[in-house]
Amino acid sequence: MLLLVGLGNPGPSYRDNRHNVGFMAVDAIHGRWRLGPYRSKFHGDLADGVIDGEKVLILKPQTYMNESGRAVQAAMTFYKIAPADVVVLHDELDLAAGKLRVKKGGGHAGHNGLRSIQGHVGPDFRRVRIGVGHPGDKDKVVGHVLKDFSKEDRTWLEPLLDGIADGAGLLVKGDDAGFQNKVALAVKPPRPNTPRPDGAGANKEKKD
- Which residues are part of the catalytic machinery? 19
- From the number of C-beta atoms within 10 Å of its C-beta (0-12, 13-18, 19+), residue 178 rates as middle
Alpha-carbon distances, residue 168 vs 12, 39, 128, 144 (angstroms): 26, 21, 11, 28
Give, rounded to a whole angstrom, the gap between the first and last alpha carbons of the chain.
Answer: 71
Cα-Cα-Cα-Cα dihedral of 150, 134, 132, 173, to 10°?
180
Residue 182: DSSP 8-state: H
Q: Are 78 and 42 in contact (CB under 8 A)?
A: yes
Q: One-letter amino acid identity for 165?
A: A
- The Cα 136–Cα 97 span in angstroms is 13
Label each residue of 105-132 as H, E or C: CCCCCCCHHHHHHHHHHCCCCEEEEEEC
Of 184, 93, 158, 82, residue with least CA distance to 130: 93
